């Protein structure tokens, strides 16, 4: 078997990789895959699979076509040896990758939750219903940064791409929403929110997520989300907004 560098978009087995996931991943893992060096796995010059290695020596993708999956163990061992991989980001929704990584590892840490939309929106408290949402404007950049710090990376660029919404209460900016289009999956966006500190625990974060879900659905787009594994507050907010987690992102060291 041979390994050959490739652009992610040129991988012929990327479609079967997408189909192999039993639930969605969000932009956090996607960004790590996009930031990785990608390779196609060749057998007699035919692409039978692919993998990706982040500059941190982390495997972010390992996939083989179903008819070639019997080769998984020796191929993964060869990849780890040749490329010096010392860890992996593995979503539990990718059974093939997860099973092979668990054959030989040193340490496993829970990294994140990934969430899918149930399609059900909850009833909201009056305080949350008073929030008015609109697309962010260039003039909002200073207020967004004052409220949320670096929650929105490169806010001017994201606003220009219409990826940011703001929530106003009596004219005050109290909530920020993000909608980040997927570069790997068609018609899928990752959503996220931030609530100003003085206005938390009033249902505003839940209302923001519900608003973002509705914006996605109105365009025929599937909303997904994620949060760090120890972020109990974000997990509770996403669940309260009608999202459910079936997938964990694992950080596994060899």
Mind listing the pLDDT tens digit for each residue in 215-237? 999 999 999 999 999 999 999 99
Q: What is the pTM of this model?
A: 0.93
Judged against a pLDDT cut of 70, whether residue 208 lies above it is answered with: yes
Common-topology check for domains 2-105 and 116-247: yes
Check residues 75 and 125 and name the one with the higher pLDDT.
Answer: 75
Report the C-alpha gap between 219 and 94 in whole angstroms: 28
Each domain of the chain, given as residue ranges in start order, spans 2-105, 116-247
Distance between CA atoms of residues 39 and 216, nearest Å: 33
* Percent of all residues in the chain with a pLDDT value above 90, rounded to a whole number: 94
Angle at 237 between CA 178 and CA 23, to 5 degrees: 70
- Average pLDDT of 61-88? 97
Q: Which residues contact 155 (CB under 8 A, 6 or more apart)?
A: 136, 141, 144, 145, 164
The reported pLDDT for the residue numbered 71 is 97
pLDDT of 127 strictly over 70: no
Sign of CA dihedral 64, 70, 74, 80: positive
pLDDT above 90 for 202: no
Cα–Cα distance measured from residue 59 to residue 29, given in angstroms and rounded to the nearest whole number: 11
User: By the 8 A CB rule, do 226 and 193 touch?
Assistant: no
pLDDT above 70 for 1: yes
User: CATH fold of 2-105, please?
Assistant: Aminopeptidase (3.40.630)
Name 166's Cβ contacts closer than 8 Å, sequence gap at least 6. Answer: 133, 134, 135, 136, 140, 143, 144, 173, 175, 176, 177
Separation of alpha carbons 100 and 115, rounded Å: 24
Backbone angles phi, psi at 200, to 5 degrees: -80, 165
From the candidate CATH numbers 3.40.50.2300, 3.40.630.30, 3.30.830.10, 1.10.3720.10, the one assigned to the domain spanning 116-247: 3.40.630.30
Alpha-helical regions (H) of 84-203: 95-101, 126-129, 141-148, 155-160
């Amino acid at each position: 078997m041979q390994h050959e560098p490739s652009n992610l978009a040129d991988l012929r087995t990327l479609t079967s990789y997408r189909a192999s996931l039993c639930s969605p991943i969000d932009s956090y893992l996607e960004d790590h895959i996009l930031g990785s060096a990608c390779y196609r796995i060749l057998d007699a010059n035919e692409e039978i699979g692919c993998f990706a290695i982040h500059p941190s020596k982390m495997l972010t993708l390992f996939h083989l076509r179903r008819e070639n999956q019997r080769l998984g163990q020796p191929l993964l061992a060869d990849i780890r040896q040749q490329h010096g991989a010392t860890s992996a980001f593995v979503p539990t929704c990718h059974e093939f990758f997860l099973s092979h990584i668990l054959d030989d590892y040193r340490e496993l840490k829970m990294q994140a939750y990934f969430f899918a939309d149930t399609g059900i929106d909850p009833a909201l408290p009056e305080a949350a219903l008073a929030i008015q949402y609109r697309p962010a404007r260039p003039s909002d950049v200073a207020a967004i940064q004052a409220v949320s710090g670096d929650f929105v990376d490169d806010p001017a660029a994201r606003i220009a791409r219409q990826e940011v919404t703001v929530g106003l209460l009596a004219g005050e900016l109290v909530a920020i929403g993000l909608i980040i289009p997927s570069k790997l999956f068609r018609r899928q966006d990752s959503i996220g929110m931030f609530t100003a500190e003085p206005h938390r625990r009033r249902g505003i974060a839940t209302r923001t997520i519900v608003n973002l879900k509705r914006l996605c659905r109105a365009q025929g787009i599937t909303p997904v989300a994620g949060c760090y594994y120890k972020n109990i507050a974000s997990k509770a907010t996403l669940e309260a907004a009608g999202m459910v987690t079936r997938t964990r992102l694992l950080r596994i060291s060899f």
